[in-house]
Amino acid sequence: MSGRCDRRLGAGETLLADAGFDPAETAVLTIARLFFQSFAIPQGHAWIGAFARAGAFFPPGMARARGPEIAVAILAAVQAMRAARNSGFRFSNPDCPGCTRILGAHERHFMDVLCAFRRGARSRAHAASMLICEGNPADPFLTAMANLATLIGPRTPSSGRPEGVQADRGPVAP
């Protein structure tokens, strides 16, 4: 292996830097990717890294809960989503610097639910959950994501994306 990633944007993908996530949302995605990897490659024990990263990303005082509590809440959301979906879930490899810079469509839908809850947009969270849960009953997933959003806290207007930009959808229509 050359240690180099030549991955390019595919259909439905965007650069993570263009998604408009604040640091807490980016941290949640990183931790979730490690949990996704845990289920895809159980022998890799990526869940251990998820808890370690949660402790680093969410030190005491950064959010309403400590890192390990947030990691458990992320895992609960991942599990609820997995229970609702019938098909596979595509995610970027959390161990590859080239891949981590890409936000896949499934990851975006997962994060759209969290972002909507953090902004107080419950209807948008419900719509996004229908996409990620493939139209299946999503109440457990919505509850898990709402709980996660509560632990992290609301998004502050000054964090993340510039005014007038939606997560990976470009400028807001006037």
Question: What are 118-174's pLDDT values in tens digits?
Answer: 999 999 999 999 999 999 999 999 999 999 999 998 887 654 444 444 444 444 444
pTM equals 0.85
Q: Which runs of consecutive H residues, i.e. helices, occur in the chain?
A: 23-40, 46-57, 67-84, 97-100, 105-118, 122-132, 139-152
Answer for the pair 53, 31: CB distance below 8 angstroms, yes or no: yes
Sign of CA dihedral 165, 166, 168, 169: negative
Question: What are 96-131's pLDDT values in tens digits?
Answer: 988 999 999 999 999 999 999 999 999 999 999 999
Question: What are 1-35's pLDDT values in tens digits?
Answer: 445 777 888 888 899 999 999 999 999 999 999 99
Q: How many CA atoms lie within 13 A of 110 on its CB side?
A: 31
Q: With left for phi above 0 and alpha for psi between -120 and 50, is residue 121 left, alpha or beta? A: beta
Taking alpha carbons only, the member of 4, 21, 36, 41 closest to residue 161 is 21
CA distances from 166 to 13, 36, 129, 162, 163 (A): 15, 25, 17, 9, 9
Taking alpha carbons only, the member of 132, 160, 141 closest to residue 24 is 160
Question: What are 33-89's pLDDT values in tens digits?
Answer: 999 999 998 998 999 999 999 999 998 877 777 889 999 999 999 999 999 999 989
Task: Please identify which residue in the block is written with the tokens 């080239």.
Answer: 98
